[in-house]
Structure 1
Amino acid sequence: MANAFVLRSLDEIRFWSRIMKEHAFFLSLGFSYNDSKLIQEAQQFITLFERIEEQLSRLSPNADPEEIRNFNNQVYQAAASIWVYKRKVLGLVLRCEIRSNNYALLVDHISREAAYFANRLKELNEGRMIPLPEAIIKENVFFLKIMADHSKFIGHLLDPSERKLVEQAREFSHDFDQLVFQAIDLDSMRPQSETEPILDQFLDQNRVSVVALRDFKKTARELIEACKIKSNIHPLLADHTFREAERFLSIIDMFEASLTSGNQ
């Protein structure tokens, strides 16, 4: 029988390594031709995560946990390295030392995801598999902010003439900003009260909003791929944001299952 630690580790690496590789690609598209060194560094990260994906393809769900623990450490170093690169790029953007089509918020956004990935691998190697109530709230804050950011990016990258879609993206941005604030409020209340019933309600509410955004992203992705809407959104970016919404839904499922098992 496959070890739960092995399965969880392989799943995290499978999902997030692809995300990291795509981040490097998106950054490279946004640089000007003068930023050849930064483009070269982005390409090196694409190659690095492609190698990790190749290693991953050779690992079995029945692999020795110690082998996976070592692999996690290796991938952790890659995630930490791309985080450093992303923060360097963000500093260059904020100091106006480069002129890039990558928004400062976008670079910050993808660096937060690299930090999240590295932290997940660290937690797994430390044996932290079952989420605690406070972890559920904090992880939702992280993903709700990611969804809010996506909505803002979509709104800004759509052609201004796509008024209806731009307005829908703004509405999603507002919705997820409010959910972030609600999650922060719940986090501050948690130590003083029994929160499991509130958490159930909170997760249900988040699910409804994430499903709506996921479906919006799916439609946008299909329209972009068919060249039926005007935008600066790369088809891969449309698919990338859709997959992250799907990921958040799977995490909500995991959290709801952990609350249910904890109450039995």
Structure 2
Amino acid sequence: MSDGFVIRSLEEIRFWSRIMKEHSLFLRLGFRCEDTALINEANQFYSLFENIESRANAFTAGTDPNVIRRFNEEVHAAAAHIWVFKRKVLGLILTCKLPGANNFPLLVDHVSREANYFRNRLAELNLGRLEPLPDAIIDENVFFLRIMADHAKFISHLLDPSERKLVEQANEFSRDFDQLLYQAKDLDSMRPQSQTVPLLDQFLDQNKVSVKSLRDFKKTARDLIEACRIKSIIHPLLADHVFREAEHFLVIINMFENSLTAASPQMKMPH
């Protein structure tokens, strides 16, 4: 169990610390040149999470669990602080105190939700209170389906309007993931009665098909952007960023499918 705790903690921190670092960059790029205090704060968070990412990569599966537990606490504090920063920025945008800046309110809310997810995961790991499999399947999918729907909307709005075919494809993905999210929330509201193996298995299968399609679309868009073959204001790193998050969601879905198969003989029909 101690090895599993260390491995899981390091996997989460390695993935999400890079995401938090890149969020800092994207927010900074969206600020106006006169927003020096916000730019400096974003730069500080970039350095903070770059350091965390580097330290996480230096640890191994054999690291003392107590060392990792303390590291988790430190990273949890960093995630909480960047969450506060992101919510502050969102408040400034929504009260029209950053006119002319280029960060969408939904994007700032989106990155704050990911920071909150990250800090909650670290707290769960340290407490040893990860959700039971049926609850985790629904909750993780509700979270990530919304993330994927947001990504499609951002891509649509950051592509040049003249890229009509790609804009329409992004809009189609947005509609698809909105529908999947509504379905996931319906399954959520029906629990525990909805948490049967057949329903959860079909739920994962359906989501996996759509996430794979979106992942492939993101990969194509990333490659085209990097080759300067399409017109957009999408930073190449942002294109890679959203691609990696889709890949991460697929890893989670595959993990759930394997766990569900292994657990199905023991899982009972909920009362």
**TMscore range, shorter length:** over 0.9
Q: Pick closer, same or farther for the CA change 1:2–1:98 going to 2, 3 Å.
A: same
Which residue matches 1:152?
A: 153
Which residue matches 1:3?
A: 3
Superposed CA offset, 1:75-132 (max 9, x none): 0000000000000000000000112200000000000000000011011111134643
Q: Distance in 1 between matches of 2:254 and 2:129?
A: 18
Which residue matches 2:73?
A: 73
Q: Distance in 2 between matches of 1:34 and 1:177?
A: 37
Gaps of 5+ in 1: none
Which residue matches 2:218?
A: 217
Helix, strand or coil: the match of 1:22?
A: helix
Task: Indicate if the aligned counterparts of 2:148 and 2:177 stay in contact, CA closer than 8 A.
Answer: yes
Q: How does 1:18-57 map to 2 (within 5 A)?
A: 18-57=18-57
Matched residue count? 264
Helix, strand or coil: the match of 1:96?
A: coil
Task: Indicate if the aligned counterparts of 1:14 and 1:56 stay in contact, CA closer than 8 A.
Answer: yes
Q: Distance in 2 between matches of 1:72 and 1:221?
A: 32
**1:261 to partner: Cα distance:** 1.7
User: What amino acid does structure 2 have at the position aligned with 1:216?
Assistant: F
Helix, strand or coil: the match of 1:191?
A: coil
**1:192 to partner: Cα distance:** 2.8
Q: Distance in 2 between matches of 1:193 and 1:240?
A: 33
Superposed CA offset, 1:155-179 (max 9, x none): 0000000000000000000000000
Superposed CA offset, 1:139-160 (max 9, x none): 1010000000000000000000
**1:189 to partner: Cα distance:** 1.4
Q: Distance in 1 between matches of 2:60 and 2:159?
A: 42
**1:193 to partner: Cα distance:** 4.5
Q: How does 1:117-196 map to 2 (within 5 A)?
A: 117-129=118-130, 131-196=132-197
* TM-score, scaled to structure 1: 0.97
Q: Distance in 1 between matches of 2:142 and 2:129?
A: 19
Which residue matches 1:232?
A: 233
Q: Pick closer, same or farther for the CA change 1:194–1:73 going to 2, 3 Å.
A: closer
Q: Distance in 2 between matches of 1:202 and 1:233?
A: 32
Helix, strand or coil: the match of 1:3?
A: helix
Task: Compute the RMSD of aligned alpha carbons.
Answer: 1.3
Task: Indicate if the aligned counterparts of 2:158 and 2:232 stay in contact, CA closer than 8 A.
Answer: yes
**1:195 to partner: Cα distance:** 2.0
Q: Distance in 2 between matches of 1:48 and 1:134?
A: 33
Q: Distance in 2 between matches of 1:56 and 1:141?
A: 28
Q: Pick closer, same or farther for the CA change 1:194–1:239 going to 2, 3 Å.
A: closer
| Identity among equivalent pairs (%) | 70
Q: Distance in 2 between matches of 1:163 and 1:231?
A: 11
User: What amino acid does structure 2 have at the position aligned with 1:257?
Assistant: N
* TM-score, scaled to structure 2: 0.95
